[in-house]
Amino acid sequence: MPSIEYKTDQQKKSFYNSNAWRGPNGLRIQALERDNYECQQCKREGKVTTDSIQEEGKHKEIKLNVDHKYPIEFYPKLALVLENLETLCVYHHNVKEGRTMDKIRPKSKKKKWDDERW
Number of domains in the chain: 1
| 115 assigned to some structural domain | no
Give the integer Cα–Cα distance in Å for 98 and 90.
12
37, 64 in Cβ contact below 8 A?
Answer: yes
* Residues 12-49 pLDDT 10s: 999 999 999 999 999 999 999 999 999 999 999 999 98
Domain that holds residue 88: 9-108
| 114 assigned to some structural domain | no
Output the pLDDT for position 105.
41
* Residues 59-85 pLDDT 10s: 777 899 999 999 999 999 999 999 999
| 118 assigned to some structural domain | no
Give the integer Cα–Cα distance in Å for 24 and 83.
19
CB atoms within 10 A of CB 85: 23
| 1 assigned to some structural domain | no
Give the integer Cα–Cα distance in Å for 35 and 106.
32
| 93 assigned to some structural domain | yes
Question: In 3D, which of 74, 76, 84 has the Cα closest to residue 27?
Answer: 84
